[in-house]
Chain A
């Protein structure tokens, strides 16, 4: 096996495992060069199965190339590079090691050609991401990482059962399009959706991601949800229920982000919102919609990482401030962080000339092409809502609004360089979409820049902006969180645990009482029948004894004969 057929994901995982054991200088070199080597090796993978392995009676396709997997792998590799550059001054070496294992396993999933390989990398991804959260080394991050791990292991078990049933049904482990017409495929879909942040298990994402370090959250935003988008695109394109799940995620993200006070939680809710657009696109399932979902996953990874880098820089330079109520007015002392944050905010809002505009519009166009009027209306309202909750809310409350009096400087050079690099990608893709469109799974002649489309989009977004400033009194930040589905396992779970503990103690006491009563009864009965005056102890005549034995035998014979 040469370097160009070696699985790029495994290459990154090995690199990650080496990181904690080398000196700081070597570590920085590996962090910057290895992702580029991985990117190169991604592009050496041609179509079809490149590496297979026999396991039990199955032939596993460890590396199988196609347009879609190369597209996702490309953006993953770019993400690892940008995230690594941003995290270069991270003092905790285990975080980058975990992030490389995490990114490498995500690459493993997108090149996997069979369900068993998907599952193995899926689980490595869960462990890698948990360790990224854990690396923040705070009590909050530890607890959040355990809650995160429980949800993902649960999702993994659901997925595994589904895969086993599917292989039983079809006799093949091949990973291709499936129909949800049996329990196995339903479970596979459910397992995939857990990682996408779909309802009801949406809360793990805003619960866990913001607890990672300033650089850890940047990595987390990219891989888990987008590999879920990838596997949904391969496994369940055109599955109608995904449209409605996606729409729920879109509006859930907007509403919860509007209520939220913590800037990194705002951006986490907005990940669910953006993945909602992709899931809706996959549900629509036309070539335009799937192209849109794939393109949006690509552009979203870059601009969401950029937004979280901007938030991470603020978090880093203010020694851990992340609540909107504590921030404000930072544009004066952090101009580069502010401008890069605004570029990310414009891209996520799909402003013309940014990457979001050329990707998200394809999903809306697919709804038009398929004549899905209500879904199109929802998507249009949601586009306006994205500008509201992420596009303006994040920069406004962090960099403008009231002056918090804080005057942190822009972060170190590597963090600035990472932000500027990702800002350039956001604008570059927005200005020149054609070469990017050529990388998409289906050929299309979609033209995003028509005069009416640009004007319509500007009307939608700028009036959304107007509504933000008119309704500003309604948006006053409070020191609050909002209850979510995790209440059921974090609060109701605890109450029911306490209740059950009390009940178990009650039941235990009752059982003890009952058993001591039964023992006493047994002693009394034994005494009654076998005691000195008891029935068994009394003498009986020979005739009576014979009569008893014969009757007993007769009953036994009749009984045996009858049955």
Chain B
């Protein structure tokens, strides 16, 4: 996709691509930092490699999917209570 010169730099597809790359690099660096920094583990599992990374990712996916499923039952048009 070509950039539109009128657009703000933050919404140009080329900048978004750069932002994704920088973001993924930071994520990778954070996970790898577990190799160097020794975390004091309180419960065992929280000392495992990259615990906070995978736990954050998985629980958030779980919450999004759970909300989505619950939405099938609970969502109504936003005029539901209007008379």
Mark A residues whose CB is within 8 Å of B. Answer: 251, 254-255, 258-259, 261-262, 323, 329, 331-332, 368, 371, 373, 376, 380-381, 384-385, 388, 400, 403, 451-452, 455-464, 466-468, 470-471, 474-475, 478-484, 490-491
Contact = CB atoms under 8 A, between A and B. Distances in A.
A381 B55 contact: yes
Interface of B: 8, 10-11, 23, 26-27, 30-31, 33-34, 37-40, 42-43, 46, 50-57, 59-61, 63-68, 70-71, 73-78, 80-81
A259 B54 CA distance: 24
A356 B78 CA distance: 32
A255 B30 contact: no
Contact of B60 (A332, A459, A468): A468
B63 A254 contact: yes
Contact of B30 (A254, A452, A458): A458
Nearest to A251: B63
Contact of B75 (A251, A259, A462): A259
A479 B42 contact: no
A475 B63 CA distance: 11
A381 to B, nearest CB: 4
Contacts of A482: 70-71, 74-76
Contact of A259 (B43, B52, B55, B71): B71
Q: Which label, helix, strand, loop or mixed, suits the secondary structure of the B interface?
A: helix
Nearest to B82: A140
B3 to A, nearest CB: 15
Given A255-B63, A482-B74, A452 B68 contact: no
Contacts of A371: 42
Contact of A467 (B39, B57, B68, B78): B57
A139 to B, nearest CB: 10
A468 B38 CA distance: 28
Given A259-B75, A466-B57, A403 B11 contact: yes
A258 B63 contact: yes
Contacts of A368: 42-43
Q: Which label, helix, strand, loop or mixed, suits the secondary structure of the A interface?
A: helix
12 contacts: A259-B74, A381-B55, A381-B59, A388-B64, A456-B52, A458-B30, A460-B55, A463-B27, A463-B56, A468-B64, A481-B75, A481-B76
Contact of B54 (A254, A262, A452, A463): A463
A479 B39 contact: no
B65 A474 contact: yes
Given A373-B43, A388-B60, 12 more contacts: A259-B67, A371-B42, A380-B59, A452-B37, A460-B52, A460-B56, A462-B26, A463-B52, A464-B56, A471-B60, A481-B78, A481-B80
Contacts of B54: 463
A458 B50 CA distance: 11
Nearest to A484: B74
A258 B56 contact: no
A258 B57 contact: no
A464 B39 contact: no
Contact of A459 (B56, B73, B78): B56
A251 B70 CA distance: 13
Contacts of A452: 37-40
Nearest to A385: B63
Contacts of A380: 46, 52, 55, 59
A470 B58 CA distance: 12
A451 B60 CA distance: 24
A461 B56 contact: yes
A-B pairs with lowest CB-CB distance, top 9: A459-B52, A467-B60, A381-B59, A463-B56, A258-B67, A460-B56, A384-B56, A463-B57, A480-B75
B59 A456 contact: no
A445 to B, nearest CB: 16
